Chains A and B, each alone.
Chain A
């Protein structure tokens, strides 16, 4: 019961940036260039939720809270949700839903390509986020969902590539994603080392 209340709380909290953007859009409070504001804000929220998703496992290990693991799917889906609005804003405001212009942008502007690929990587993760798919894919599910690592790296690159004179903001995300990936790398090395030790021990007894 308490877990459910917390999950609803988190759901509303994650939706709040969207609700605030929608409210500002409806009241004309997005400034002179709502297109740009929407693009920047939804892109940034998507990256923030990606970082939060990556933070779940370490947080689980450090704090022992089982509840955070049950939030992971929702937070990950929110990363995808904001990425979709980001992409839709690009389609609507920047290229006027023209496939020709999209193709041209993808070829000529690598940061657009990189961002688009990041979104493509998140797409199967969102589709297979249900329990049903988790069961069907079994151990492949986990492997598939490691696609979030390249997606997060590409999202950082997408931001860095657009920095014109100040790379500070991009650096913050790069450091966060870098630290979270480094934590996983170290954990998997420890895990392998431990299983090697266990295997050796088993062989000797």
Chain B
């Protein structure tokens, strides 16, 4: 229970929050199935205690974080972020967590480190989606950020939502939240963090490079081949209120993050 987590000053939106029931029953977590309703039905099969996150690569102090270190070792904050999925739906979620920068600093990235790679748990016995014969994802799920993106104060490591422990289907016990990027960048149930000097191969980018870029910054001007990104459906919606709203550059966080991409052609580095 994280009711005491202080609110992250200046980081939260005051838009209507997506109700808890929707946040925890409408998920993309392909390790448990490709249907939005699969994770809530099957994620309970995943054991999250004990849990270890291994931090390796270009760091002075490689090592492991155990669940207790994660839950007790950081000053938790509540941050209400917009979450924009590449599939053109979006939510507003009150997360509880701490900046990823705080975690990374403990392991002391070396001067050569330029990228961070994240890895999700891959445990076939507990993740039925990974046992699907027709799935073409090369497990485990991997994601990555440039080091400056990872160190940005908006980049959050979440351990809870709505003041409570993170439910399994939302990526327990520890997940990334990068609010200005499409949701698939916000990797769930992390067991590995590696600092690198070159850009890591990430799951979706490897699978379909023309559709998913490494950066995956929310951008209404760069369409996904399958979906227009100009609008989004803010959830929940209803028959009478489709709740279609225009998508904002960097998901509305341009003021904080646009400088990270100065001079870059965002239609090339999508």
Contacts and interface: CB of A to CB of B under 8 A. Distances in A.
B123 interface: no
Contacts of A33: 26, 36, 89, 233, 235-237
A64 to B, nearest CB: 37
A93 interface: yes
A165 B133 CA distance: 11
A18 to B, nearest CB: 14
B34 A166 contact: yes
A195 interface: no
B238 interface: yes
B132 A166 contact: yes
Contact of A166 (B134, B226, B233): B134
A31 B36 contact: yes
Contacts of A109: 225-228
B134 A32 contact: no
A4 to B, nearest CB: 35
A172 B238 CA distance: 31
B133 A168 contact: yes
Contact of A35 (B22, B34, B233): B233
How large, as a class, is the contact surface on chain B? Answer: 20 to 34
A35 B242 contact: yes
Interface string A19-48: 000000100100111111000000000000
Contacts of B239: 25, 34
A168 B225 contact: no
Interface in B82-140: 89, 91, 132-137
Contacts of B26: 31-33
Interface string A45-77: 000000000000000000000000000000000
B17 to A, nearest CB: 12
Contacts, number: 77
A19 B128 CA distance: 32
Contact of B223 (A108, A111, A166, A171): A108
How large, as a class, is the contact surface on chain A? Answer: 20 to 34
B36 A36 contact: yes
A111 B226 CA distance: 8
Pick the most buried of B23, B36, B37, B208: most chain A CB atoms within 10 A of its CB. Answer: B36
A93 B233 contact: yes
Interface string B215-258: 00000000101111001010111110010100000000000000
B219 to A, nearest CB: 16
A187 interface: no
Nearest to B211: A164
Interface in A62-121: 92-94, 96, 101, 104-105, 108-109, 111
Contacts of A34: 236-239
B207 interface: yes
A188 B236 CA distance: 51
A35 B23 CA distance: 16
A151 B136 CA distance: 27
Interface in B156-182: none
A111 B228 CA distance: 13
A28 B228 CA distance: 27
A-B pairs, top 4 by smallest CB distance, nearest first, are A168-B134, A32-B22, A32-B26, A32-B235
Interface of B: 18, 21-23, 25-26, 30, 34, 36-37, 89, 91, 132-137, 207-208, 223, 225-228, 231, 233, 235-239, 242, 244
